[in-house]
Structure 1
Amino acid sequence: METKNTESHPLIMPSDGVSINYTIDQNRNDLYDILYAPTPNPLTEFYNRALYGDYEAMGVGLTATGSATIGITLPPGSSIEAAFLFWDVIRFGGYVGPILPGGKLNNINITGTLISTIDFGGDYIDGFYADVSSIAKEGINVLEDFPRGAFRVLQTDGASLVVVYSNFSKPFKTVLINKGLVAFYDDTIETTFQDFIVGNPPITAKTTYMVGQSSNGRDNAYFNNSMVGTNVFNNSSGPLWSNVSVDVSNLVNSGDTSATAEVHVPLSGILIWIAQVFSVNAPSQKVSTEVRGIDFCK
């Protein structure tokens, strides 16, 4: 097979004001195959819990300094049941050293669990999550010391904090989190939520997309085949991070047992999708303490 010399799409380091292009030499005839070698880790079920309550998810860009704050607001009388932090780190070709899974949350050292690593034309994208249930809090959460190196070396795009809370004054809901690591452009990627059932009206449902890098303004977000956002993955939570929450109550129906979120990005941008959250009201007879899908934290 003929070796093809193809210029890949750039990863971005906006804090330096520079886009970096890389040349890939692969025995492949299709740029899509080059980008997806090795195969990415699709977003699949990580957490599934039914409870009186809901979730709150907020995110922030970290590429400039590796430090920032995330504010979490919960309804009065709420208790935090679980909390997870998701982030990605890019090790550019100039970086020599190990994978760096660490950082601090609220002045406590955390070590992330590696979701997956993607080889992106000689650079490496690492996706991480951490169970921070005992560290996260309502109010201001301080993130510090996430990887940040010199130009063309190392950066953390951003992070999202998902807080699952109980509150007996709120409807009975199922909260689901899918996690994975997919880097893509000029493509549409989807993730499907399963193992739930939508309760009777009135239905209240929302979903949150957690995405690194930038679409350069021409992306589309979909839920159950309906467009729910455009130009939303364009640094909406700070440089190189977009934490986008959408009300999708009118896109699910009583009795539904699955739902699909999709992200489309054109050739002009690259996105790194690491997690998706979805909540919807559940039949009230379901046991309120049921937890599944987390592997017990897979």
Structure 2
Amino acid sequence: MEAPAPEPPPWERLAMDRVWDEKVRANPSLFDGPVAACAGLTRDGPHGVVLTWARTTYRRYVLRWIPGATARLPGLFADVAQPTCDGRLLVGRMGRSTSTPGRWLLPGGSVEPPGDGQVLDLAVVRGHAARELAEETGIESAPGELRLWLVTRGTHGSVGVLFLAPPRPAALLRERFAYRVAAETARGREPELDRIALVGSWAELAELTGPGADHADYLEPVVARYAGAAQPAPARPDAARPGPARPDAARPGPARPGPARPGPAPLRPPPPGGG
């Protein structure tokens, strides 16, 4: 359900604008567009949650770096776990034009708010996850193919709604990503993800990132959870086709407001806009 975003007091707004302007000067690709933030998350029985969200813009997320700020809101993300047929997961490294270059994470992004008076429900979040997967990796999945898998909670309170995509051949995933990167480069744009890898265990992820490398802290438990449950699956009958999956460009946004950590068990939330 939707709730109004808290109004920052004057001193807090001035500090927020100052910090945001500093970050934009350091990275002009940052975008202060509309975003749906998490305004509350409560359990609803043993397997459900109720999510409250608020309309705001990306600059609000810098309030975490302002001591004493009272109008902070955690982020809300839709992410996709894309497996291979042999039980590995696709992870991507954020490109130079993003606010967190070099960070490894799952494909996904911040949830955009619906139009005024419209509902932000699970179907909308699922559709957003499918778009992010296509924009960042070139891999197309119909929203109905994405299965709700986990809800994660981050260090700064950020909430990730994690969907599981159908398994696909590793070669197909690499080919789709190569097409996407080539298409973005041809348009003079830097891709949001500059590299992908397929990992089947936390040890492989640790070897990939190396000491001191930046990665979302939900990756370890998510990769471990999937590796413990995955079985090789038959390949989808689709084939790679040249060209990007979608012609629209991925839009770099500000830093994710805190890496997410999976909760103790898979959760099946009711529609976030319902309630």
Q: Structure 2-normalised TM-score?
A: 0.29
More helix as a share of residues: 2
